[in-house]
Structure 1
Amino acid sequence: MRVSDIIIGVILLSQTTVGALGNTFLVYHYLLLYFKGCKLKFTDWILQHLIVANFLTLLCRGVPSMVSVFGLQDFLNDFGCKLTFCLHRIGRGMSISSTCFLSVFQAITISPKVSRWTQLKAKSPIFIASAVYMSWILSVIVNIAFPMYMTARGKNLNITSLKNFEYCFSIRHSSALDIFYAVLHSTPDAMFMLMMLWSSGYMVCILYRHKKRMKRIHKSNFSFRSSPEFRATKAILFLVSTFVFFYTISCILQTNNSIMFNPDSFMVKLSSVFSACFPAVSPFLVITH
């Protein structure tokens, strides 16, 4: 086993362990609040969907990659390969959509009363809740055909016609078809990313204008910095910026691996590392904020 494999294996083990503990703590926290009869905020409801997406990503991408890096590569059968890749794709899609809806909802919440979004404030939880459920359905539909091209290792397989993804194989297509599938699966994610960046930019503009306005009112005793809206907005902006950073690198690596005729083994492992970064880090961002 190479030194690079050992390092990546340790990183994946640490990510999976720490991420599982962090997300489990959040599950315990919300269950405790539920049994106490506490009323949760709508942002907490969106975060619960994000927690489910984090578990899917860690269990269906982080764990198999970690086991494969440490030398056990034939531990999944054909059904296991198809299931893990499908669930990982669904969890990945829900991770970006949940983070996007969290950002959009907070942007609507802190929008000024004179804004055109004022009428949406009362109805935004209904609209966004419907969008979250719809995104689960769309994520399943978009990725349902993805496992058809995945297969487990086998003695009778023609390796030259398959792409090696460490613990599973993928049927090799033409370059044009690989690019088409890469664009097809990236389009919904790109739309969510643009919505996320737009809503985050909108929140930054609101906070900047409010800060300038407060400087002019010297006699005002109101501190927007201490308000729950400001703290929630700052936390969500921090969560979104972390997601964009890790997701962008992960997307570049995954697109590169899907387009390449023979993906490099190190790049495949590195893609698994960055795919597990946000699910491992995000629960601690939520806890600290």
Structure 2
Amino acid sequence: MAFHDLVFGIIFFIQTGVGVLGNFFLLCLYAITFLTGHRLKPIDSILVHLALSNFIVLIIKGIPQTMLALGLKIFLDNFACKFIIYIHRVARSLSLTFTCLLSVFQMITISSFTWFKLSGLKNKLPKNIVTFCLFSWILCLLMNIYMFANIQNFRENSNNTRIWHMGFCLGFTSGSFKAILLVITFSIPDFLCVGCMVMASGYLVLFLHRHHQVVQHIHSSSFIPRTSPETRATHTILVLVSTYVSFNSINSIMVIYLFQFEKYHQWLMTTSAFLAACFPAISPFVLIFHDSRILHLYYSTLGKDKLPNSSS
């Protein structure tokens, strides 16, 4: 085994292990909170689905990628190979969808737009957030069914197809035009979601700017300002969106570059896999350390009413 393979294997192992534990902690925390009779907010429903999708991404791709980097053999038949890539694609799409839904939900929640109030969207959305989440699962499952027909095991080869190496599986398309069309088709929903996130994040930034101006005014009036839950949640969501867009933008550029070549570039492919798993691994800790509600939920499950050293 080459030294750089060992290094990548250790990095993938740490990334997968830490990310899985972080998302599992959030899932257990929300499950215990729900089972003990504490009421979850509508935004918590989105966070549960986000943590679950990130958990699946890390398990379904992180473990095989770690084994591959460490030189361990992966025995997958055609169906297993298709299934892993399909589930990974679904979970990745869901992670993007729920991050987008999170930012849009927060924008509508704090928005003062008259249209949102007149249409009733501001009141209807929290009540139907679970329905939106379930619809997202169904939509992503259906949209990625084509993966079953497009992915084959690396032991099955063809001289008349374009090959895209994925480490332990190969992607097959029947021609250059079809390959480009496939990439564009599967990229359209991603671009739409990222566009919605950027638009919503822009509004959230304006909200925080106005809030900062109000705080400065209160400071000048010698009052002690107190950060509202909406402001803290908005800041957390902005950090999440910024993290996703940053890693996804770099990874997307790398994937487009890789797709131009039929030859397998192991170092670039491994780096792309690492970047793709960064957001699922980092996001639970962004929520834990930036959103005080998570810590309040944790201490409430322990029977404590407030955080240690918090003022009454």
- Matched ranges for 1:76-115 at <5 A: 76-112=76-112, 115=114
Is 1:240 equivalent to 2:241 in the alignment?
Answer: yes
Is the deviation greater in 178-187 or in 68-77? 68-77
Is 1:120 equivalent to 2:121 in the alignment?
Answer: yes
SS of the residue corresponding to residue 115 of structure 2 reads: coil
Is the deviation greater in 31-40 or in 262-271? 262-271
Q: What's the CA shift for 1:264?
A: 1.3
CA distance in 2, matches of 1:5, 1:11: 10
> Does the 8 Å contact 2:165/2:171 carry over to 1?
yes
Structure 1 residues 73 and 158 mapped into 2: Cα distance closer, same or farther (>3 Å)? farther
Residue 261 (structure 1) aligns with: 262
> Does the 8 Å contact 1:57/1:275 carry over to 2?
no
Tell me the alpha carbon deviations over residues 219-250 of structure 1, each in whole angstroms, 9 at most, x when there is no partner.
48473x51111111111111111111112122
Q: What's the CA shift for 1:2?
A: 2.5
CA distance in 2, matches of 1:147, 1:2: 33
C-alpha RMSD over aligned residues: 2.1
CA distance in 2, matches of 1:171, 1:21: 34
CA distance in 1, matches of 2:283, 2:213: 31
Q: What's the CA shift for 1:216?
A: 4.5
Residue 67 (structure 1) aligns with: 67
CA distance in 1, matches of 2:61, 2:221: 55
> TM-score, normalization: structure 1?
0.91
User: Percent of pairs identical after alignment?
Assistant: 36
Q: What's the CA shift for 1:205?
A: 0.8
Alignment coverage as a number of residue pairs? 286
> Does the 8 Å contact 2:27/2:52 carry over to 1?
no
Higher relative contact order (CA 8 A, sep 6+): 1
> Does the 8 Å contact 1:67/1:73 carry over to 2?
yes
SS of the residue corresponding to residue 169 of structure 1 reads: strand
Task: Give ranges in structure 2 of 5+ residues lacking alignment.
Answer: 291-312
SS of the residue corresponding to residue 164 of structure 2 reads: strand
Is 1:141 equivalent to 2:142 in the alignment?
Answer: yes
> Does the 8 Å contact 2:46/2:129 carry over to 1?
no
> Does the 8 Å contact 1:96/1:192 carry over to 2?
yes
Q: What's the CA shift for 1:129?
A: 3.7
SS of the residue corresponding to residue 276 of structure 1 reads: helix
Is the deviation greater in 86-95 or in 66-75? 66-75
> Does the 8 Å contact 1:107/1:203 carry over to 2?
yes
Letter in 2 for 1:88: H
Is 1:229 equivalent to 2:230 in the alignment?
Answer: yes
> Does the 8 Å contact 2:23/2:51 carry over to 1?
yes
CA distance in 2, matches of 1:147, 1:255: 22
Residue 183 (structure 2) aligns with: 182
Q: What's the CA shift for 1:70?
A: 1.2
Residue 194 (structure 2) aligns with: 193
Residue 49 (structure 1) aligns with: 49
